[in-house]
Structure 1
Amino acid sequence: MKPNHKQRFFFRAILLLACHYLPTAAALESDADQPIAIDSNTATYDEASKTSTYTGNVISVQGSIRVNSDKLVAYQKNGEIDKLVFTGNPAKFKQTPSAGGEDILGNAMIGEYYPKKNLLVLQNQAVVVNGNATYASNLIEYDIKSSLVKAGEKSSDTKRVHVILKPKPKDKPESDKPETETNPPPTDKP
């Protein structure tokens, strides 16, 4: 069954609105200038509630930022995206904070992104890996612009934050390096 003219127009309009109004988070400076591409199995727009809902293997990409989720809901306020909520089992994100830099990875059952604040809030089994540090908590706030991670809930001392700080790999001293043809062992022969 071929979509009729109205259906094609509707989905093109949703895609154009999404590309125009979705957040412009800055991982690399150029990320904010990049369009957002959303691929999903289904897409709906509710004019009354000003929400766009994408379901089924949702992949959102803007520059170096990528989110994979089962569902993504975009909430509009005053003609702009106010909040994006993504869910998954778990939903995953990846960001390259600088050219040639190490990716920041994260996942959670629920994520909320507030574009005006450059704030990503991960909830329920949240994990963020930033360089040599891994943060795990029920709640993690991640400032996309400054790469600042805050973990834990202020309301409860019983819900602990788990952090693993891995040491950087050390370079082996010259004496520990294996011998090669360019560096043969010394001989006693004259």
Structure 2
Amino acid sequence: MSLANKPNRKLIATLAALLFAGSAAAFNLDSNVPITVNADNARLDDGKGIATYTGDVVMTQGETELTADRVVLYRDETGLQRIEASGQPAHYRQAATEGQGKTDAKALNITYSAPESLLTFEKEAVIEQNGNLFRGDIIHYDSVQRVVTAEGAANDNNGSGRVEMVIQPRSRQNTQDPDGSSQGQ
């Protein structure tokens, strides 16, 4: 690794801590709160452990919500292993703790890997919380370690091909109502 990359990793870790401060884990499979899925259509292949939901899919657990055009759940003998969602875009919303507001994310594809507690947002990915923003082609979020890594796309004239981060000043972050909305600025 070159010395030029070290400050970037430290910056990303710092920004992740700001953006996801107080976030809870994604879908909590150890919770007593059930995961509920509503959709226009559903297909369960119990032998393969695959459930496919299509058409205005809404998946919730407590205050965590995933909406998409299509959601596929993969289970094995130990439980839910993976969630794959796609949409135009698919949306992921999660309440944060400690008055940090909600995390609102969107991408054309969202994948949650339960064993790694890893959320991956692919294609036109945007994650926002309290005015802080991550934008990139691919964003990985480790919900246990609270580490975000982002990658830009190849520059194809549809964007800069780079990762964008917007971090609000602490003074703005400290002027939140209990529901996470900002007071007039």
Q: What is the TM-score normalised by the length of structure 2?
A: 0.68
How many angstroms does 1:150 deviate by? 1.7
Contact 1:57 1:69 in 2 (8 A): yes
Identify the residue that residue 166 of structure 1 maps to in structure 2. 168
Tell me the percent identity.
26
CA deviations over 1:152-185 (Å, ceiling 9, x no partner) = 16x97994211112334399xxxxxxxxxxxxxx
The 5-angstrom pairing of residues 7-26 of structure 1 reads 26=25
Identify the residue that residue 150 of structure 1 maps to in structure 2. 149
Which piece of structure 1 moves more, 116-125 or 140-149?
Answer: 140-149
Query: What amino acid maps onto 2:172 in structure 1?
Result: P
**SS at 1:169's partner residue?**
helix
Query: What amino acid maps onto 2:149 in structure 1?
Result: K
**SS at 1:33's partner residue?**
coil
Structure 2 runs not aligned, ≥5 long? 1-23, 175-185
Identify the residue that residue 121 of structure 2 maps to in structure 1. 122
How many angstroms does 1:79 deviate by? 4.6
Contact 1:28 1:97 in 2 (8 A): no
Contact 1:28 1:64 in 2 (8 A): no
Identify the residue that residue 86 of structure 2 maps to in structure 1. 87
Identify the residue that residue 38 of structure 1 maps to in structure 2. 37
Provide the alpha-carbon RMSD of the alignment: 3.0
Distance 2:26 2:45 in 1: 30
Identify the residue that residue 17 of structure 1 maps to in structure 2. none
**SS at 2:115's partner residue?**
helix
Identify the residue that residue 55 of structure 1 maps to in structure 2. 54
Distance 1:27 1:125 in 2: 20
Distance 2:112 2:132 in 1: 22
Q: What is the TM-score normalised by the length of structure 1?
A: 0.66
**SS at 2:172's partner residue?**
coil
Identify the residue that residue 76 of structure 2 maps to in structure 1. 77
Contact 1:97 1:147 in 2 (8 A): no
Query: What amino acid maps onto 2:76 in structure 1?
Result: K
**SS at 2:48's partner residue?**
coil
Contact 2:140 2:149 in 1 (8 A): yes
The structure-2 alpha-carbon separation of the partners of 1:96 and 1:82, relative to structure 1 and needing over 3 Å to count, comes to same
How many angstroms does 1:48 deviate by? 4.5
1:140 matches 2:143? no
Which protein has the bigger helix share?
A: 1
Higher relative contact order (CA 8 A, sep 6+): 2
Query: What amino acid maps onto 1:150 in structure 2?
Result: T
Structure 1 runs not aligned, ≥5 long? 1-24, 172-190
Contact 2:50 2:73 in 1 (8 A): yes
How many angstroms does 1:97 deviate by? 2.3
Contact 2:109 2:123 in 1 (8 A): yes
